[in-house]
Amino acid sequence: MKTRRTAEHLIKRVREELRAEGPEGGGYSDFIILDALNTALDDLSDIFTIRDTQTFNTVEGQNSYNLVEILGVEVFELIRVSFDGKTLRGKPLDVLLNKSVPEEGPVREWFLWGHELTFSGNVEADKEVKLWVNRGPKFLNEFKQIPDTPRYADEALVSYALSVCYRESKDFERAFQYYRIYNNRKAELLSRSVPQTQRDFLSQMRDDYASPFRGSRRFFYKDYDPRRDD
């Protein structure tokens, strides 16, 4: 049976590796370790993009909503938006700015500026908005929280946290050692995250080589002296 992957479990793994003050590595606070894990998650967000859906209800007269506050994480791509069960069309911000009264009429369009999602039209209260997004992994704020990254990324998270802890204790040699391990594991994760259909078209190094082609001759030579009569 696999161990349940929580923030608390990752912290215990870091402490067991550190063994700074006894077997529990008590010389490092949970805050330092958890902050290091979140920094690693932020760094790995380029590799692990999470496809997610999120719903929220509107507030009467409020046309703009901060996606970071709603989702709790930065949104990389907003794929689709539905308002009260109807799919809206995304428009460039210039369309909204050129409207004389953008708060009038039914809600038909959405606009994105930074983290602000804005609707044009008369926004009524308690209308359900559903978002389809690509986002980064959520930060770990609670001990029972499970990382969004897959299980095989845990080794990279732990290695980065160990590097930070050793740097805090001025053990720069071990800090560099674990940071190098983290970079190696990050490279492995990047290679593993490439889809198979995409991987088939990547250039690959071969461990064998084709034999050289043998050129064809246009003239044939005979092994005898043409001046000599046979």
36-54 confidence digits (pLDDT tens): 999 999 999 888 888 889 9
- pLDDT the model gives residue 176: 94
- Sequence-distant (≥ 6) Cβ neighbours of residue 197 within 8 angstroms: none
Q: Which of 21-35, 101-115, 191-205 has the lowest mean pLDDT?
A: 191-205
More confident residue, 194 or 213: 194
Sketch the domain layout of the chain as residue ranges: 7-47+138-185, 50-135
The label of the residue with tokens 């190696």 reads: 184
Q: How would you label 52-87 residue by residue, b for 16+ Cβ within 10 Å and e otherwise? A: eeeebebeeeebebebeebbebebeebeebbbeeee
Instruction: Give the pLDDT score at 213.
Output: 45
Query: What is the SS3 assignment for 199?
Result: helix
127: left (phi over 0), alpha (psi -120 to 50) or beta: beta
pLDDT tens digits along 132-180: 998 888 899 999 999 999 899 999 999 999 999 999 888 899 999 999 9
What is the predicted pLDDT for the residue at 101?
66
